[in-house]
């Protein structure tokens, strides 16, 4: 029997390790550590290979640039003791409530701006701030039905917030599949712990979505709206729909007429009341956003404003997870909730501030620079690892557009033992807990998604950069019957004004869901898919009438007659004569005609 931990070297100045402290095993990891010590290395590798092959067999993958890749799952779980988790849970709830209040405020009275808590420019210059939804309140007041708050552990082992995701956070499907796989692969260790379950997430989500139904709808129809099979998170979309027992639809499956949304079914049109959309704002409604979108539903925003359908998460939430806005969230907690933040931010310099910018420009080679609108680690520059030319280019970009950047110190993420080539080695991790808001309570899924950077020394945990995942166990000590006390936020005085912004620094890992790029690719693929379909099926009769008539009459009329008829007739010659013409003229016609929907 071989010690798989042999040679596990954290090294001098190493990051906080979650299993070991000074060579000793932390209390919550004893059973897991003992389990691996009792097993021959060959058996550990065999079990890990079995987990990997089962993921491939089940199609648990993610997509990058249209290529499906397996999502590596490490066999060594990550453990968080209940006492520490209670703090995380309370901090996530607090943050979600503050962001909910912020979104409600800026799309109504904007009191937070008029009172100077945050500069108006931070909001109005955000590309995710959409005036089209100003003055509109969702049926039960909830805008962030689902959120993912990215956390890291610093050198002291304290959790810090790295990023907020209030648009379409992904990854929760891996939380559930990881649990099932690791529980099966490590039954000995699993049975030794009292682990918080994660399989209630679909039920909680469906309850929250139903609670968000339009007023007067007692038995709402809820659907999951996906960009389609080419999206990297399609596995998750289909899994959630299946687990919730609701329909998975694409934009072409929905139609908007008279301010109401319906779903095409074999029995005709069926009303839809709540849409859990996994499509970005820009592609959601071609009437108001990208006119060439083939992923959304024309007229959807108008239907939502009319109160006939609820969109979850709400349109315009992106302003709440702008990386510049992130630096103000502690102020928002104090302002709206009159509480001190439970979870600290990573310190962040705002480069729109003259003094901060001057300091950062002097220390570019020491800091991490992040574009405020970036995702998936794209555009991030880690100063200590950058070449001089790269830093010079970065300096020019900052001076040209300071608002587009923030800076943070390099923080080494905590490490968790990870099986690498038959040996356990320290690898950096982050954590994305998921929260569901039903309007009465914010529920936090115990555990969340742990992402692990598999290359040695790597700080970027994104799956597209070679990252994998771990099962996250929130555990209670069976021997300790002492109730875990709740975390009560420290209140600030009723008359206390919002504390001034902390201009300090912060940062760390580089994460995110690659939605923007992916949905751009998805749009292109859908377009190509649409052309292929037209090409294969042909449409002689439409050809006789000519694309001009189609253009003048517009998709409305086409829609009333039924896209099914269009399909049956085919469009061979339209392909030759000019999808170009249809393409150039179509979106305008769509815009004018569908705006009444």
Q: Count Cβ atoms below 10 Å from residue 506 Cβ, excluding itself.
A: 24
* pLDDT category of residue 313 using cuts at 50, 70 and 90: very high
Res 532: pLDDT: 47
Lowest mean pLDDT: which of 69-78, 470-479, 482-491, 523-532? 523-532
Q: Could you give the percent of the chain with pLDDT greater than 90?
A: 61
Res 519: pLDDT: 58
**Alpha helix ranges (H) inside 107-136:** 111-114, 120-124
Lowest mean pLDDT: which of 79-83, 273-277, 378-382, 524-528? 524-528
User: Residue 163's closest CA among 458, 457, 373?
Assistant: 373
- The SS3 assignment for 162 reads strand
**Alpha helix ranges (H) inside 363-481:** 388-400
Distance CA 71, CA 77 (A): 16
Cα three-residue angle 161-163-167, rounded to 5 degrees:
135
Find the length of the chain: 597
Res 578: pLDDT: 38
More confident residue, 597 or 108: 108
Residue 330, φ and ψ in degrees, nearest 5: -55, -40
Res 544: pLDDT: 38
Tokens of 320: 């709440």
Tokens of 239: 């899994």
For the chain, give the mean pLDDT: 82
More confident residue, 403 or 247: 247
Q: 189-241: per-residue pLDDT in tens?
A: 999 899 999 999 999 999 999 999 999 999 999 999 999 988 888 989 999 99
Res 504: pLDDT: 46
What pTM was estimated for this model as a whole?
A: 0.81
Res 10: pLDDT: 65
* pLDDT category of residue 526 using cuts at 50, 70 and 90: low
User: Residue 444's closest CA among 17, 151, 237?
Assistant: 151
Mean pLDDT of 433-445: 97
524 has a pLDDT exceeding 80: no
Res 352: pLDDT: 87
Distance CA 386, CA 589 (A): 49
* pLDDT category of residue 487 using cuts at 50, 70 and 90: confident
113 has a pLDDT exceeding 70: yes
Residue 501, φ and ψ in degrees, nearest 5: -60, 140
Mean pLDDT of 493-518: 47
Distance CA 411, CA 499 (A): 25
143 has a pLDDT exceeding 90: yes
Q: 80-102: per-residue pLDDT in tens?
A: 999 999 999 999 999 999 999 99
512 has a pLDDT exceeding 80: no
Q: 349-378: per-residue pLDDT in tens?
A: 999 889 999 999 999 999 999 988 766 567
Q: 18-64: per-residue pLDDT in tens?
A: 999 988 999 999 999 999 999 999 999 999 999 888 887 777 776 66
Lowest mean pLDDT: which of 365-369, 404-408, 440-444, 554-558? 554-558
562 has a pLDDT exceeding 50: no
592 has a pLDDT exceeding 70: no
């Amino acid at each position: 029997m071989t010690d798989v931990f042999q040679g596990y070297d954290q090294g001098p100045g190493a990051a906080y390790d979650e299993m070991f402290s000074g060579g000793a095993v932390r209390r919550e990891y004893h059973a897991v550590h003992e389990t691996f010590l009792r097993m021959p290395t060959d058996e550990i590798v065999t079990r890990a290979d079995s987990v990997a092959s089962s993921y491939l067999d089940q199609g648990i993958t993610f997509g990058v640039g249209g290529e499906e890749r397996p999502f590596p799952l490490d066999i060594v779980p990550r453990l968080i003791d209940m006492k520490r988790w209670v703090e995380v849970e309370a901090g996530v709830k607090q943050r979600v409530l503050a962001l909910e209040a912020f979104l409600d405020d800026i799309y109504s009275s904007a009191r937070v701006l008029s009172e100077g808590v945050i500069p108006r420019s931070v909001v109005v210059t955000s590309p995710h701030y959409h005036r089209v939804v100003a003055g509109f309140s969702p049926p039960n007041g909830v805008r962030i039905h689902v959120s993912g708050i990215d956390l890291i552990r610093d050198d002291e082992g304290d959790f810090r917030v790295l990023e907020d995701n209030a648009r379409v956070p992904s990854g929760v499907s891996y939380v559930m599949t990881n649990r099932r796989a690791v529980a099966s692969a490590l039954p000995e260790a699993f049975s030794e712990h009292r682990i918080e379950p994660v399989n209630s997430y679909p039920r909680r989500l469906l309850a929250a979505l139903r609670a968000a139904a339009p007023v007067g709808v007692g038995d709402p129809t809820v659907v999951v709206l996906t960009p389609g099979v080419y999206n990297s998170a399609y596995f998750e979309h289909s899994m959630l729909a299946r687990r919730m027992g609701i329909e998975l639809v694409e934009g072409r499956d929905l139609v908007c007429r008279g301010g109401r949304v319906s779903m095409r079914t074999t029995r005709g049109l069926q009303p839809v009341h709540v849409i859990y959309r996994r499509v970005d704002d820009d592609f959601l409604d071609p009437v108001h956003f990208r006119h060439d979108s083939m992923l959304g539903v024309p007229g959807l925003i108008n239907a939502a404003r009319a109160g006939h359908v609820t969109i979850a998460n709400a349109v315009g939430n992106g302003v709440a997870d702008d990386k510049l806005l992130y630096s103000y969230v502690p102020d928002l907690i104090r302002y709206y909730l009159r509480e001190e933040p439970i979870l600290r931010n990573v310190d962040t310099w705002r480069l729109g501030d003259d003094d901060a910018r001057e300091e950062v420009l002097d220390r570019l080679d020491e800091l991490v620079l992040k574009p405020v609108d970036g995702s998936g680690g794209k555009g991030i520059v880690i100063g200590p690892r950058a070449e001089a030319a790269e830093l010079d280019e970065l300096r020019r970009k900052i001076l040209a557009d300071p608002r587009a950047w923030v800076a943070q110190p390099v923080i080494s993420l905590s490490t968790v033992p990870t099986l690498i080539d038959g040996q356990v080695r320290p690898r950096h991790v982050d954590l994305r807990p998921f929260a569901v808001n039903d309007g009465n309570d914010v529920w936090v899924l115990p555990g969340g998604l742990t992402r692990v950077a598999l290359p040695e020394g790597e700080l970027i945990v994104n799956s597209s950069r070679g990252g994998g995942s771990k099962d996250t166990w929130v555990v209670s000590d069976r021997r300790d019957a002492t109730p875990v006390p709740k975390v009560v936020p420290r209140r600030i005085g009723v008359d206390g004004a919002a504390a001034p912004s902390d201009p300090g620094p912060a940062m760390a890992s580089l994460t995110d869901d690659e939605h923007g790029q992916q949905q751009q690719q998805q749009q292109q693929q859908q377009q190509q898919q649409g052309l292929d379909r037209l090409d294969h099926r042909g449409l002689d009769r439409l050809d006789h009438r000519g694309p001009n008539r189609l253009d003048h009459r517009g998709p409305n009329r086409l829609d009333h007659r039924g896209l099914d008829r269009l399909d049956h007739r085919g469009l061979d010659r339209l392909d030759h004569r000019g999808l170009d013409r249809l393409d150039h003229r179509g979106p305008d016609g769509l815009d004018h005609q569908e705006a009444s929907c």
